[in-house]
A = this chain, B = another copy of it.
Amino acid sequence: MVEARRTPLTRLRALAAAVAMADADGIEAVSMRSLASALGVVPMALYKHVSNKEDLLDGMVGLVIRGYGRPAPELGWRAAVRAQVLSARATLARHPWARAVIETRSTRTPEVLSYLDTLSGLFMSGGFSADLTHHVMHALGHRVWGFSPEGFQDPNVVSPSSVDQTDPAHLAEARRTYPHIAAIADASGALSGRTCDEDFEFAFALDLLLEAFDRLHRAGWSSA
């Protein structure tokens, strides 16, 4: 034996290594095989700590969610929710792969439940009924995890892969085909290379919703 006793593999070590790997090289670089070899172990060894790849991904997401931190409820519900969600967003910025993975998860792990419970608690300690809290959590949707729910990224720029921006004729044609998008792009300065401020959009929608929630709450709204 050339090696001394190696520190034994644990579920946590495996998950942490997977997260680190995804942070460094993207989620597609994380396979059972690559992860195993990064841990100096044979692929099948992972299955002693993780029941399959889905479980691995669930665990990775759980680890990220644990990093969301916990709120300061003395702020009042509105500021507290806002701070919590923005803190989630900040965490997610450090794990760019997590967004896509969260979108594919469906099992509510303890970490997921615990976070949702905490966030619900912020509303309810602000006087929200369980009923209103329920619907309000739905309305937030993916935003509770810290990201805006948008497909196809930035819809406001007239530079999709299907439009060649360097060819003026082609671009003029695109402007004719998609006049409203062109107008939006003009207004936001997207054509001059400026890209759209995702953080602003996130806060914009979040505040719109929080304002609406507040109104409902004050009005004593109930779904009945």
Q: Name A's B-contacting residues (CB within 8 A).
A: 100, 102-110, 112-114, 116-118, 120-121, 124, 129-131, 133-135, 137-139, 141-143, 145, 148-153, 155-156, 160-163, 177-181, 183-184, 186-188, 196, 200-201, 204-205, 208-209, 211-212, 216, 223
Contacts and interface: CB of A to CB of B under 8 A. Distances in A.
A180 B121 contact: yes
Given A183-B124, A186-B130, A153 B106 contact: yes
Q: Is the interface of A mostly helix, strand, loop or mixed?
A: helix
Given A118-B180, A139-B208, 8 more contacts: A102-B151, A103-B103, A112-B160, A124-B183, A130-B186, A141-B142, A142-B142, A143-B149
Contacts of A141: 141-142, 148-150, 205
A107 B160 contact: yes
21 contacts: A102-B151, A103-B103, A108-B152, A108-B161, A113-B181, A114-B177, A116-B152, A116-B155, A120-B184, A124-B180, A124-B183, A129-B187, A130-B188, A131-B184, A133-B180, A133-B184, A138-B148, A138-B205, A141-B148, A142-B151, A212-B212
A204 B136 CA distance: 9
Contacts of A135: 201, 204
A91 B145 CA distance: 27
Nearest to A104: B100
A77 B13 CA distance: 54
Contacts of A184: 120, 130-131, 133-134, 137
Which of A124, A155, A179, A212 has the most chain B CB within a 10 Å cutoff? A155
Nearest to A141: B149
B130 A155 contact: no
Contacts of A142: 141-142, 149-151
Contact of A134 (B160, B179, B188): B188
Contacts of A156: 134, 137-138
A179 B177 CA distance: 53
Contact of A107 (B109, B110, B152): B152
